[in-house]
Structure 1
Amino acid sequence: MRKGLLINLDRCSGCDSCIVACKLENDLPLGHFYNKVIAVGPTGTFPNVEKYWLPSQCQQCENPACVHVCPTAASYRDPETGMVLIDKEKCIGCKSCMEACPYGARYLVQSEDGYFGSELNEYESVAYENMPKMTVDKCDFCIEHSGDGKPDPVCVKACMAEARLFGDLDEMKKLVAERGGEAYLPEEGTEPRVFYLPTITA
């Protein structure tokens, strides 16, 4: 079953719980994040001033530019789930996918150092095995950490405001259509599977 992520911008408070939960669950090195929460605004003029927070991550595109440009087929779409994944054994760190991604959702692992230097502690030595040096990494909806090979994003569970909803792709599209949602990130013909419910203005 193909999955999608729906983010209700009216509910996002910019608390960054999704960022912290993601970083801990995926054992991300210093300076690397799968999730970002961008402050947009303030816009308008006093007293009609508005500001909102825009969560951003890999959009798990149906037509992913990153896959099309990868010279080694390290970036690929899983035929069963439609997830965009990275085969680290094939990745050569050329950064072509990073340049092709219109969302800035990928990063290059340039060092194997831990938080306190090159000598990794016991936790880091295990956690960083999935991120070899000079390979690209990104959000995979926690497919590697779910235990059953199915996506199970921890950012959704950690969202205290319930701004994130993860489920059947068609159901997510239906909810967006009912609300008149739109993609706040550049669509670029990639057909993202992360959708946004727009903020309601007076």
Structure 2
Amino acid sequence: MSGGLVIVTGVTQLLPGGKGAALGAAAGQKWADQWEEHHWGFVVDTRKCIGCGRCVRACKEENHVPLDDHVYRTWVERYMVDTNDRVWVDSPDGGLHGFPADREDVPKPAKSFFTPKLCNQCEKPPCVRVCPVAATYRTGDGVTLVDQERCIGCRYCIQACPYGARFLHPELKVADKCTWCYHRITKGMLPACVQVCPVGARVFGDLEQPDSPVRAILESERVNVLKPAMGTEPRVYYLGLDKVVG
């Protein structure tokens, strides 16, 4: 994310079902040794998010994204809806420093809530298809990454991403985005944003593992994905996602 927000109001509910697993310290070495056998998934519970911004700061620090530049691998949006269903969305500094309690330019909303965003690690990523030098690619365990040595900074992938999850790194001048902290998960560790969330609004795990919290969530609760009509098959699943979120 590196600019303004675009609101798309169409989201689709998925029936409960699927497979998932959360990382755990005891199995970390096994996962690290056999990382190509995994297929990762991410759950965001918007009902729990408090907009504290700890995830945004942890991500920037972990992945060397400049703190003072308005670029983010993950960010948090606040949605405010009034009684006439008018919607206001803000994300000051990507939610890095939290959110002000009130906005003078917004009427007192009937409801207000936070929605974290990040790379959806799509099964059919358009960013991979449009890269002219194959700098954007998928790993054996389904994570889309950027080879910074090959990237020429053409921005095609940035334009192709329907989720606004990519940006041009202000110092390196190459495409950058959330990797689900790939350098951590291949060592059996959680992504930094998941690790620091004080309310458990982010859950990460292996979609191939049958006995995990992620699987339990997908099998027992209704989840949503962003912009399902795009056909990208995202692997970030949302709990409690309001219909106004795009």
After TM superposition, the score normalised by the length of structure 1 is 0.79
Partner of 1:165: 203
The CA distance in 1 between the partners of 2:178 and 2:162, in whole Å, is 15
**Deviation string, structure 1 residues 171-194 (Cα, Å, up to 9, x no partner):** 6365235221212x2131111111
Q: Which has the higher contact order (CA 8 A, sep 6+)?
A: 2
**Alignment of 1:140 onto 2:179:** yes
2:47 aligns with 10
SS of 1:137's equivalent? strand
Distance in 2, Cα, partners of 1:174 & 1:166: 12
1:52 to 2:91 alignment: no
**Residues 80 and 109, structure 2, Cα contact 8 Å, conserved in 1:** no
Tell me the residue number matched to 2:102.
none
1:90 corresponds to which letter in structure 2? R
SS in 1 for 2:203: strand
Do the aligned partners of 2:194 and 2:203 also contact (CA within 8 Å) in 1? yes
SS at match of 1:44: coil
* Residue aligned with 2:65, SS: coil
Given candidates 217, 221, 224, the residue that maps to 1:179 is 221
The question of 1:101 aligning with 2:101 is answered no
| 1:71 corresponding residue in structure 2 | 132
Task: Letter of the 2:58 partner, please give it.
Answer: A
Aligned length: 176
Partner of 1:129: none
**What residue is the counterpart of 1:130 in the other structure?**
none
Match of 1:87 among 126, 143, 147: 147
Mapped contact 2:59–2:73 kept (Cα < 8 A): yes
How large is the RMSD of aligned CA atoms in angstroms? 2.3
Indicate conservation of the 8 Å contact 1:106/1:137, yes or no: yes
**Which residue is 2:59 aligned to?**
22
Instruction: Return the match for 2:79 from 20, 40, 62.
Output: 40
Partner of 2:12: none
1:47 deviates by 9.5
Encode CA deviations 1:124-171: one digit per residue, 9 max, x unaligned: xxxxxxxxx321011111112x28456731100110011111112266
Give how far 1:44 is off: 3.0
2:167 and 2:176 in contact (8 A); partners too: yes
* Counterparts of 1:182 and 1:147, CA distance in 2: 24
Q: Does the 8 Å CA contact 1:143/1:151 hold for their aligned counterparts?
A: no
Q: What is the one-letter code of the residue matched to 1:196?
A: Y
- The alpha carbon displacement at 1:199 in A equals 5.3
TM superposition shift of 1:9: 0.8
Give the ranges of 4+ consecutive aligned residues of structure 1 lying more than 6 Å apart after TM superposition.
none
Alpha-carbon distance in 1 for matches of 2:187, 2:182: 6
Q: Is the 8 A contact 1:34 1:139 kept in 2?
A: yes
- Structure 2: where are the runs of 5+ without partners? 1-37, 85-106
